[in-house]
Amino acid sequence: MADTTYQIYSRFIDPMWIQPLRPSLHGREIAYPNPFVVGDGISNINTQKINEMGPPIVQFAENDFDGQSKDSIGFTPVVVKPVKIIEPFKIPRDLFNAFVNGNNIQMPQSINLAANYAYSAAYKVAQMENSIIFNGWAPNGSDILVDGFLSGAGTTDTTTAYLFGKFNEASKCAADLISAVNDAGADPAAFNFSMNPGLYNTVNAVTSTAGVREMDNLVKVLNPAAVKDGTPMVGRCIKDFTLPYNSTSGIGSVLLTPVDPTRTWIELYITVDYRSLLSPAATLPELKPLEGAVYCQMAPHIKQANALAAATNVSKAAA
Amino acid sequence: MTKVKYKVKERVNHLIVDGKRLGPGEVFEQTEEYYERNKIYVDPVFPARKLEEAKTDTKEPKSTEEEPIKSPAEGRVVRKGRS
């Protein structure tokens, strides 16, 4: 079906708001998208969870191993259902007309009104996307329908109290979670540590009596391979509003995820990336508001949960 | 502080509670405040007595010929077959 003028116009305004939106996509900082699963209309992704092989055979060179049992990778089928996140809006027609040059919609005069509407809507979509990547999607607040990295973490410490206002507590928390990941059999070279701004800003302000910044320490803890052999420090602290935090009690959750560009442990399915739509009313279009929407379709995917860890009793209070 | 029983949800991998590593379906006790922070990982386990009450509530009442029926309009107790 041929695109309408408004669909072409939507593609024209997309670069105006998508690039400014990128810094808000914190969820995409901790996981990489799978480039092979892309397209409109994907509602189920059938994938496999890989269970690793057993220990190898050790023997002297001259023996053959025909008599020994052969191993294989075990597969557990998993269905990942991507969700569409949509923010619809309406643009008053007279305002829209005022912002374009004599109704020539290809030549905006100054500020592009539609792009501003789209950016504002997209920011809300981005927040929901971040929330789904970090927390998962639970329409009733407790029963998860789509697992996020926090809800699907391999190990979650729910009781150990960490007081991030005190020096060395955030580093200790990260080190404990890395130990939990190592105990579960995963050993990533670097980690990202995601926090709500309430906790992040607390850690950022903590300094020891000797003048050592907590944040510097924490980043070193997150990069064990870099500290060991001098490779670049790629693991870092991520700040996002959607991570759990109660501003009254000052208690929240933190999430440790592997830096995983090869998508060994975690990945994202971005089946439809950010896109805007504009549409005139079906009858009397010159007199009725334009309808628009911004949407994307995505799902986080945990391939091996043992590389993820979380803590839910993290407080900003000092001891 | 009141302690409440919780059960680890089936889809959760592992929880660390007071230093113990718990898997799906395991039951433990924690404070009431614990639930707010961890409701995506655990479900509260109701006391056995409350579960029994809930079961009884769902049963259909036995109907007999002479069973009194309460009039919805006036709240009077009337009997079947009488005006």
| Complex prediction ipTM | 0.82
Tell me, yes or no, whether A209 lies in a domain: yes
Q: In what helix (H) or strand (E) does residue B51 lie, and over which residues does it extend?
A: helix B48-58
Provide the residue ranges of all domains of chain B, joining segments of one domain with +: 3-78
Q: What does the pLDDT read at residue B72?
A: 55
Segment A235-294, tens digit of pLDDT: 999 999 999 999 999 999 999 999 999 999 999 999 999 999 999 888 998 899 999 999
| Cα Rg, chain A, nearest whole Å | 24
For the cut 90, the answer to whether the pLDDT of residue A98 exceeds it is no
Position with higher pLDDT, A40 vs A64: A40
If you average pLDDT over residues A29-51, what whole number do you get? 88
Q: Is the pLDDT of residue B55 over 80?
A: no
Nearest residue, CB atoms, A154 vs list B14, B37, B40? B14
Q: What is the mean pLDDT of chain A?
A: 88
Cβ contact B40–A136 (<8 Å): yes
| Window B:20-79, CB contacts with A under 8 Å | 21, 30, 34, 36-41, 43
pLDDT band at A96 (very low <50, low <70, confident <90, very high): confident
- Percent of chain B past pLDDT 70, that is, above it, reads 55
Mean pLDDT on A195-218: 95
pLDDT tier for residue A126 given thresholds of 50, 70 and 90: very high
* In-domain check, residue A57: no
Q: How many domains does chain A have?
A: 2
A210 and A278 share one domain? no
Enumerate the residues of chain B whose CB falls inside 8 A of the CB of residue A144.
11, 40
DSSP string, B23-35: -TT-EEEEESHHH
Same domain for A164 and A310?
A: yes
What is the average pLDDT across A65-89?
A: 82
Phi/psi for A89 (5° steps) reads: -150, 170
The answer to whether residue A249 is domain-embedded is yes
Q: Across the interface, which of B16, B19, B43 has its CB nearest the CB of A156?
A: B16
Range of the domain at A40: 5-52+75-144+266-302
Predicted confidence at residue B3, as pLDDT, reads 87
Weakest-pLDDT range from A44-48, A144-148, B22-26: A44-48
| DSSP string of A187-225, one letter each residue | --S-EEEEE-HHHHHHHHH-B-TTS-BHHHHHHHHH-HH
Residue B83's alpha-carbon distances to A16, B37, B64, B67, in angstroms, are 78, 59, 19, 15
Residue A101 belongs to some domain of the structure: yes
A159 at interface of B, judged by CB pairs closer than 8 A: yes
Note the pTM of the prediction, 2 decimals. 0.83
